[in-house]
Structure 1
Amino acid sequence: MLPEQLRTMSRLYPDEVGYRNLDEGTSLTFAAWETESNRLARGLIGSDVAPGDRVSIYLPGEEVLAWVVAYAAVHKAGAIAVPTNTRMSVGELASILDHAGATVVITSPDLLATLAAARPDVPSIRLAVVTGDTQTDLGHTEVTAWDQMLDQDDAEVQVPISDDAVADIMYTSGTTGSPKAVVVRHANASVLPNNEPAWSHSGWLHASPLFSFAGIAFVYTPMKLGLCGLFLPRFDAGRWLEVIAAERPWAAFIVPAMAQLIIAHPAFETADLSSLALCSLGSAPVAAATLRRLQEKMPEATVSNGYGMTEAGSAYCTMPKEESARRIGSVGQPMAPMEVRIVDAGGSEAAVGEVGEVTIHLPGRQREYYRDDAATARTWVDGWLHSGDLGRLDEDGYLYIVGRMKDVIIRGGNNIYATEVEAALLSHPAVLEAAVIGVPHPVLGEDVAAFVVARDSSTPPLPDELEKHCAERLADYKVPRHITLIDELPHNATGKVLKHQLTAE
């Protein structure tokens, strides 16, 4: 079970710092993390939280230390954690908490107003645990302060549950529509097994919200490698560069939007990134030019675009350091026992190098969608997860992600991958970010439209200039005919571009 790793670290390295909030300058030793989560777990149990109850963790990134304590405590109580997006509207929050059937919400005073507005539509909520001031009326819901919920007994506690028990209900990022709820079990929660690592005295830096698939992996993954979790609640490229130089972490995780901002920052060329042995990127494909710039800046590090999705669970690809520069754009080779197969529209296996849908097979119990048997049956077919991602395998089995199936633009019968056009735009020195979508065309069916953020808003590139730049790098039918300069692209909390919002631009 997930909390076993924390118990191990508390036993082996009680006084080592397991997690740090770099913006607040606060930290948590493994011993404090273990005992505080024991006290909170006992408090939840004493408040009639039973195995299988759904407990929402609705805390901002600024309270990351409370977040990781709550996450361990929920599992120790035998309950199910529901990591909850703090950027949602009242309606979105109510919809997700009601769908999950949450009975308890662990939250912050800053989020109580939103929770109070959503509460009438979530009749299952009976208790709110608040990390600060509790002077908010939640109707029939009891409101209790965090400190009052902590039991006096900090001894080890674990309500007996099986490894197959549900650990989390994770809501996907919903970049193309409503989020889906993925069931995560203790047995398939992580690619890395619990172990007794040697302590490295180094850390792994990330800035991904803990309610996301990327963020939640950084609760336990760093400690499994003998590393401290280093968290930036608010990403800023300049601050990120400063932290790398000052803290000298062994590893860092960023998403493509962060990478674009980092390489565009004036301090990038002179920044000291020499401590990094690993710079992993995830959540979306990364432009080849961006990967090359990062690799050139960190020649001794492994710089790779990882691949994962909430539905795939512990699926993981590996990229040997010596291959990362040679296979720019690849997310690596599938790591056993994971299998990847590329299939065409008819479901047949595609030839080497041919683009098709990425399907994934892992032995053991597959993940599923919570309370949605129909979606589960559509997504997992004969043991294979149909990812909705487009990709290809090269002759050596390295996987390349081309984009999402929904991002394919069919212009006059020609398939155009949005990521390919975006890469061409991003290779222009005046472009900071780009997103490409299909728009209706009366004759061709669809046309190519691009939304571009300039690196310097005072001297933006002209649309004609960008069209010419793309024409020199792409087939004529791939060149965007509609180019719109905007101040910023809409992103979700995990850094992914919300392309469905661009259609209304």
Structure 2
Amino acid sequence: MMQNPQRAVSTAVPTEVSSGTAATALDALSPEEQLGASRRLHWMNMLSLHAHSRTDDVALTGAEGAVTWGQLDARVSAVAADLQERGVVPGDRVFILSLNSVSYATALLAINSVGGIAVPLNIRSVAAEIDYLVTDSGAKVGFADQMGAGILADAPEAAKIPLIGFGEQFEQIASSGKAHRFVDVAESDTALIVYTSGTTSAPKGVMLTHLNFAAQAINTNRLGPAGTEHEVAMIVVPLFHIAGLGFLYPAFFNGTKVVIAPPQALMKMEALADLIESERVTKLFLVPTLWQALCSLPGIRERSLPLDAISWGASPASRETLQLMADTFPDAVISAAFGQTEMAPTTCALTGEDSFRKMGSVGKPIGMVAARVIDAMGDDVAQGETGEIVYRGPGYMQGYWNKPEETVKSSAGGWFHSGDLVQVDDEGFHYVVDRAKDIIISGGENISSVEVEQAVAAHPKVADASVIGVPDAKWVETPLAIVAAADPADPPTLEEIQAFISDRIASFKKPTRLEIVEELPRNASGKLQKHLLRKEFAPEE
């Protein structure tokens, strides 16, 4: 098992503070210790510094209300003190199962403040998936909102873990006035374990350090207008997703006010537009489907929306969507971010006019990311030829939790092997031509086709199954199940398959389309030939 060594913990008596002051756990340290702690390059230290110099400026706002930097620092310390009272020590894992909220961000910071490792879990997961993730991570404590608590109630293993509920219980803890015992957290310590869809049924926990996120903050600032305290960033994408986390961390480094959009805002684009306008949001990341919906809102161009840096990623954007974004926000810098959780996450970017001139490209490697395109022997391919893109840099993960063999395999030759097959043109722009790891990207969510295949294949009416991604007008891509029936006279229906797998995988992973075939194409060794299925059922235009 890979985890952090225990860090130094102050034995000073915690100071009692009110929820509205800028007092911090640092105040219990000697002047020399305070100075040393202030050198740390992670978001807990950034919070402490902002709490001192910008005490009354708003740090976070959301459905629960707004908190200033001073209030947030005190509330984080109070929640951290509660975790320490529960026995959480450096290296312990603490999960969060919740929709986005100010409390969510507060809990993340509190976990890290005691040297713990936060484990954000996908709120759309079913109980069986949550059981696996909580058990695999070895979480000691958990946070959950009402929706998350409902899922946990049906997960027998996860339900055994002590739970802190967002809402009244969390508010009592956060406003208690307690301060935690200071823990010296190093930049090389693991901050989060983010689970990502893999090529097998078992998700892999990506261990990301504080240094990884510091690198992401620097890279993000290079994608558009320099980050400052005058910006207002809005987070819409889930905080259990690396895109949401990768947008939150830079805001703390820049001292940017963050608006955490309530989940219901995504159900009505007019509400999202209202929030952008009322909070004077300048910086926003959305997946292409949401940009399409927002920019198509009647009267959107007549609104006073101060966006000057808009970005997209997680799935491809069409020329029509990009043009709509440019026409709706003509004064904004438009950037596309491409990457992987293992790189924390951005590796390549496409900005400005290049978004149109190089349509279909994921851009060029950015900032502190080195990249190569290699063949099966590890040699660089010639320009225009297809190869796997590999990376290295300070954003690269610490490894896969509990999977040392996978960690070694992913970093063969000293480079992270992404599994993405790309081509590079004569100007250095990269184009993804295939995903070697069989990942379907639907509405910005990564779906392991193998995981869905195994769920579908368990149906008694299914003899053999494959799942591929096919184009979809709304989600860009959606899972198609291709099935050979156990009894050709009684093949399964899509509804039967969806009902059967409902308690095995999350609803967003379910196939939305079904094709029945006599048999699936396999080679002499029995390996499924998915390229033939894609050619027949998802031909390129």
> C-alpha separation between the residues in 2 aligned to 1:313 and 1:438?
30
Tell me the distance in 2 between the aligned counterparts of 1:245 and 1:93. Answer: 37
Q: 2:102 aligns with which of 62, 65, 85?
A: 65
Query: Map of 1:414-453 to 2, 5 A cutoff?
Result: 422=471, 431-435=473-477
The corresponding residue for 1:164 is 188
How far, CA to CA, are the matches of 2:327 and 2:241 in structure 1? 29
TM-superposed deviation, 1:35: 0.3
Q: CA–CA distance in 1 between the matches of 2:199 and 2:260?
A: 24
Q: Tell me by how many angstroms 1:255 deviates.
A: 0.9
Using the alignment, how far apart are the partners of 1:199 and 1:385 within structure 2? 32
Structure 1 range deviating more: 35-44 or 279-288: 279-288
- What's the RMSD between the two structures over aligned residues? 3.6
Query: How many angstroms apart in 2 are the aligned matches of 1:198 and 1:213?
Result: 19
Instruction: Find the counterpart in structure 2 of residue 105 from structure 1.
Output: 142
Q: Is the 8 A contact 1:339 1:360 kept in 2?
A: yes
Query: In structure 2, do the counterparts of structure 1 residues 434 and 155 end up closer, same or farther at CA, with 3 Å as the change threshold?
Result: closer
CA offset at residue 123 of structure 1? 8.4
Q: Is the 8 A contact 1:18 1:229 kept in 2?
A: yes
Secondary structure of the 1:261 match is: helix
Aligned pairs (5 A) from 1:70-81: 70-81=107-118
Task: Work out whether 1:210 is the aligned partner of 2:239.
Answer: yes
Q: Show the counterpart of 2:30.
A: none
Q: Is 1:43–1:151's contact at 8 Å kept on the other side of the alignment?
A: no
Mapped contact 1:435–1:497 kept (Cα < 8 A): no
The counterpart of 1:238, out of the listed 256, 262, 270, is: 270
Amino acid at match of 1:202: E
Q: 1:369 to 1:7 in 2, by over 3 A?
A: same
CA distance in 2, matches of 1:357, 1:307: 15
1:80–1:166 CA contact under 8 A, matched in 2 = yes
Unaligned runs of 5+ in 1: 134-144, 410-417, 443-494
Of 156, 160, 166, 1:131 maps to 166
What TM-score comes out, normalization by structure 2 length? 0.68
Where 1:388 maps in the other structure, the secondary structure is: strand
* Partner secondary structure for residue 348 of structure 1: coil
Find the counterpart in structure 2 of residue 82 from structure 1: 119
C-alpha spacing 1:229/1:59, structure 2 compared with 1 (3 Å): same
Q: 1:295 touches 1:325 (CA, 8 Å); kept in 2?
A: no
Offset from partner CA, 1:423-464 (integer Å, 9 cap, x none): xxx8xxxx545437787699xxxxxxxxxxxxxxxxxxxxxx
Q: Are the counterparts in 2 of residues 301 and 321 from structure 1 also a CA contact under 8 Å? A: no
Q: Which amino acid aligns with 2:477?
A: A
Match of 2:209 among 159, 172, 185: 185
For the pair 1:29 / 2:68, whether they are aligned, the reply is yes
Q: What CA distance in whole angstroms lies between the structure 1 residues aligned with 2:157 and 2:203?
A: 18
Cα distance in structure 2, aligned partners of 1:501 and 1:99: 30
Alpha-carbon distance, 1:333 to partner: 2.3
Distance 1:356 1:439 in 2: 28
Label 1:433 to 1:149 Cα distance change in 2 as closer, same or farther (>3 A). closer
Alignment partner of 1:54 out of 71, 93, 102: 93
User: Any conservation in 1 of the 2:152–2:159 contact (CA below 8 Å)?
Assistant: no
For residue 285 of structure 2, what is the amino acid of its counterpart? F
1: CA distance between counterparts of 2:102 and 2:395? 33
Secondary structure, in 3 states, of the residue corresponding to 2:154?
helix
- C-alpha change, 1:175 and 1:207, in structure 2 (3 Å) is farther
Structure 1 residue 37: deviation in Å? Answer: 0.5
SS across alignment from 1:306: strand
What secondary structure does 2:140 align onto? strand
Whole-angstrom distance in 2 between the partners of 1:198 and 1:212: 22
**What per-residue deviation string (whole Å, max 9, x for no partner) do you get for residues 322-373 of structure 1?**
5444333333321233112223455432332333322212258643111012
Query: Which structure 2 segments of 5+ residues have no match?
Result: 1-41, 220-225, 441-448, 450-467, 485-505, 517-541
Match of 1:12 in 2: 53
Can you list the C-alpha shifts for 1:185-212, whole angstroms capped at 9, x where unaligned?
1222232259xx9854431123111111
Residue 260 (structure 1) aligns with: 292
Match of 2:157 in 1: 121
Asked if 2 retains the 8 angstrom alpha-carbon contact of 1:84 and 1:211, the reply is: yes
Q: Distance in 1 between matches of 2:482 and 2:147?
A: 43
Aligned AA (1:130): G
Q: Distance in 1 between matches of 2:370 and 2:227?
A: 30
> Do structure 1's residue 328 and structure 2's residue 359 form an aligned pair?
yes
Superposition pairs of residues 276-315 of structure 1, within 5 angstroms: 276-313=307-344, 315=346
Counterpart Cα distance in 2 of 1:103 and 1:367: 21
Structure 1 residue 213, shift from structure 2 partner = 0.5
Q: Which residue of 2 aligns with 1:222?
A: 251
1:487 maps to which residue? none
Greater mean deviation of Cα atoms: 86-95 or 297-306: 297-306
1:293 is displaced (CA, Å) by 2.3
Distance 1:274 1:261, change over 3 A: closer
* In 2: Cα distance, 1:395 partner to 1:364 partner: 27
Q: In the TM superposition, what whole-angstrom CA distance separates every residue of 1:272-326 from its partner, at most 9, and x where no partner exists?
A: 4752221110112222332232123323222122112111125443445354443
Task: Say which of 360, 365, 372 aligns to 2:391.
Answer: 360
Q: CA deviation at 1:390?
A: 3.0
Contact 2:60 2:257 in 1 (8 A): yes
Question: How many equivalent residue pairs?
Answer: 419
What's the counterpart of residue 467 of structure 1?
none
Post-superposition offset of 1:97:
0.4
State how far apart, in whole Å, the 1-side matches of 2:289 and 2:338 are. Answer: 16
Measure how far apart 1:400 and its partner are: 2.9
TM-score for the superposition, normalised by structure 1: 0.73
